[in-house]
């Protein structure tokens, strides 16, 4: 799924309808994350994660696609 104008690095798990997001600023920026996810990905849940978790998710997706 192509993401346009989403302010933070994210991983979209379409199978489980979850968007994993890393917000570098942390709190209080994380308070607006659910609203932005609903705007860009209606019906998806949001999961705030560390940059390491995000990197792992992206690497696993690349391994599965090859």
pLDDT for 16 equals 94
**Could you tell me how far CA 39 lies from the centroid of its own chain?**
13
Please compute, for residue 31, the number of CA atoms within 13 A of its CA located in the half-sphere on the CB side. Answer: 3
Region 39-62 average pLDDT = 92
Token code pair at residue 47: 């999961």
> Where in the chain are the domains?
10-65
- Summarised one tens digit per residue, pLDDT across range 6-48 is 888 889 998 999 999 998 887 887 888 899 899 989 999 999 9
Contact 30, 48 (CB under 8 A): yes
Closest CA to 23 of 13, 32, 35, 15: 32
Q: State the pLDDT at residue 18.
A: 95
Question: Positive or negative, the Cα torsion across 22, 40, 5, 33?
Answer: negative
């Amino acid at each position: 799924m192509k993401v346009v104008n989403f302010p933070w690095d994210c991983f979209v798990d379409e199978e489980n309808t979850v968007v994993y997001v890393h917000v570098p600023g942390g709190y209080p920026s994380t308070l607006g994350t659910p609203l932005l996810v609903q705007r860009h990905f209606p019906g998806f849940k949001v999961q705030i994660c560390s940059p390491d978790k995000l990197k792992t998710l992206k690497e696993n997706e690349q391994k599965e696609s090859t």
